């Protein structure tokens, strides 16, 4: 499903346009970035999709179990908080061994995203599997699209 | 499901193009006396969707994101822009490719790449003069 999402993103798609990406990096003040946009690779990655009756938020947070992510909604802003230790159980011993790459996120994070209007927070649900959290946010009844029957005159 | 349809590899698409639509999972790599360790973040990948392969001295890690999406969903915002992860590393000769172990838990792949017996580091005792 995530494969075709790139066209929805106003930003740069990875790999597809390396030259523009490079230009944007070199002349970074050319374009204005959204004040709340995040750099590529922020942890956790978030995808948002919409169906007729709900908004679905997918949080890609590898290594987090059910109780490790705190999800809250206030004034249509969804906030995700948590902590992810890149290499658990290795405080002292970890420092002693040679490390070649350290790209994975380590530590605490807080991320917020704005939701569309009209979410029924009371009926929101979330579940997780394989490091992905799915948050289901139903729309309020009165905001669901309704089919209007045409009456015969 | 038309707009966010699954991204099936198509026969007509050259391999290089398909590869470009994969995300590069972040990794940590560290070494201990007897083995190298690779830890990769691949959220959404299940055991069935994971493939770890060694071909000669090339280690390939690939994973398909398996998330059930409801019918008729349209994406409004996407940071993860591909259906799969892929990353490759070249191994050095002292790795015992046949003995590589993989573990996948909560979207984290952990690989242990043991060194061949004769390459393991040995502590050298210093004799008193």
pLDDT value, residue B18: 45
Average pLDDT over residues A89-97: 59
Record: contact B70-A46, CB cut-off 8 A? no
Domain that holds residue A131: 39-141
Average pLDDT over residues B3-14: 44
* Domain count within chain A: 1
Sequence-ordered list of residues with C-beta below 8 angstroms from that of A59, at least 6 positions apart, any chain: A44, A45, A46, A69, A80, A132, A133, A134, A135
Strand residues in chain A grouped as ranges (E): 45-50, 54-60, 69-74, 77-84, 99-102, 107-114, 125-129, 132-138
pTM: 0.75
In a domain, A4, yes or no: no
In a domain, A96, yes or no: yes
CATH number of the domain within which A131 lies: 2.60.40.790
Distance of residue B129 Cα from the nearest chain A Cα, in angstroms: 30
How big is the A-B interface in CB pairs under 8 Å?
171
Record: contact A101-B28, CB cut-off 8 A? yes
In a domain, A85, yes or no: yes
Interface with A, mutate which of B33, B59, B80 (most A CBs under 10 A): B80
ipTM score of the complex?
0.75
Cα–Cα nearest to A84, from B37, B106, B29: B106
**How high is the mean pLDDT of chain B?**
83
Distance of residue B41 Cα from the nearest chain A Cα, in angstroms: 6
Walk me through the domains of chain B, giving residue ranges and CATH numbers: 15-67+78-118 (2.60.40.790)
State phi, psi for B71 to the nearest 5 degrees.
-60, 145
Average pLDDT over residues A58-64: 95
Is the separation of the CB atoms in A104 and B41 below 8 Å? yes
Interval A2-58: pLDDT, tens? 655 444 444 444 555 666 666 566 655 556 777 777 777 789 999 999 988 899 999
In a domain, A95, yes or no: yes
Least confident of A8-12, A50-54, A88-92, B60-64: A8-12
**Residues 54-113, chain B: which have Cβ within 8 Å of A?**
65-67, 69-84, 106-108
What is the SS3 string spanning B65-98?
ECCCCCCCCEEEEECCCCCEEEEEEECCCCECHH
Which residues of chain A lie closer than 8 angstroms to B24, CB-CB? 14
In a domain, A50, yes or no: yes
Distance of residue A39 Cα from the nearest chain B Cα, in angstroms: 10
Which residues of chain A lie closer than 8 angstroms to B16, CB-CB? none
Record: contact B43-A51, CB cut-off 8 A? no
């Amino acid at each position: 499903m995530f494969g075709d999402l790139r066209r929805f993103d106003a930003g740069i798609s990875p790999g597809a346009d390396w030259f523009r990406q490079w230009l944007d990096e070199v002349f970074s003040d050319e374009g204005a970035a959204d004040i709340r946009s995040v750099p590529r690779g922020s942890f956790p990655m978030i995808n948002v999709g919409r169906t007729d009756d709900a908004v679905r938020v997918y949080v890609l947070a590898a290594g987090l179990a059910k109780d490790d992510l705190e999800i809250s909604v206030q004034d249509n802003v969804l906030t995700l908080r948590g902590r992810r230790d890149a290499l658990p159980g290795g405080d002292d011993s970890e420092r002693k061994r040679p490390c070649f790459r350290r790209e994975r996120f380590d530590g605490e994070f807080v991320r917020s995203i704005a939701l569309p209007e009209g979410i029924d927070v009371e009926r929101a649900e979330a579940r997780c599997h394989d490091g992905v959290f799915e948050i289901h946010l139903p729309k309020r009844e009165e905001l669901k699209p309704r089919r209007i029957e045409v009456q015969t005159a | 499901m038309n707009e966010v349809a699954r991204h099936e590899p198509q026969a007509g698409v050259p391999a290089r193009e398909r590869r470009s639509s994969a995300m590069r999972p972040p990794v940590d790599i560290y070494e201990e006396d007897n083995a190298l360790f690779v830890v990769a973040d691949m959220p959404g990948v299940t055991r069935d969707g994971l493939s770890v392969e060694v071909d000669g001295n090339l280690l390939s890690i690939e994973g398909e994101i398996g998330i059930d999406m409801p019918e008729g969903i349209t994406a409004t915002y996407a940071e993860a822009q591909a259906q799969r992860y892929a990353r490759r590393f070249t191994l050095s000769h002292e790795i015992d490719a046949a003995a590589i172990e993989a573990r996948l838990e909560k979207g984290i792949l952990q690989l242990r790449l043991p060194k061949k017996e004769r390459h393991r580091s040995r502590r050298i005792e210093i004799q008193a003069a």
